[in-house]
Amino acid sequence: MMQLTLYQFEDCPYCAKVRAKLDEKTLRYQTINVPRDRESPIRKEIARNSGVMTIPVLKLTKDSQEQWIGESNEIIAYLDENF
């Protein structure tokens, strides 16, 4: 089973757009609110794994394998193509 984790800012319109798409697809997901400080350890980890410095980022985990997708338009395109 695939686990979806959305790294977001609670009041971000791009994050809201991704949440709306996840809800539209009736996908179960976890949200993690991240600090706005780009120097925070979690933001650095997200950037290292996803290759982007921006939020939102979606992490997909299946069978201990992780895939990270950044940028709201790329996340939505991925969801439309794969779910």
- What ranges do the domains of the chain cover? 3-82
Q: Provide the CATH topology of domain 3-82.
A: Glutaredoxin (3.40.30)
Both tokens of 50, joined, read 């996803």
What is this structure's pTM?
A: 0.95
Tell me the CA distances in angstroms from 6 to 17, 46, 51, 75, one per residue in order. 12, 11, 15, 10
pLDDT of 1:
85
Contact 14, 56 (CB under 8 A): yes
Alpha helices in the chain, H assignment, sequence order: 13-24, 41-50, 72-82
Q: Would you say the C-alpha torsion 11, 7, 31, 17 has a positive or negative sign? A: positive
Contact 49, 66 (CB under 8 A): yes
Q: How do the pLDDT tens digits run along the chain, 83 residues long?
A: 899 999 999 899 999 999 999 999 999 999 999 999 999 999 999 999 999 999 999 999 999 999 999 999 999 999 999 99
pLDDT of 5:
98
pLDDT of 22:
98
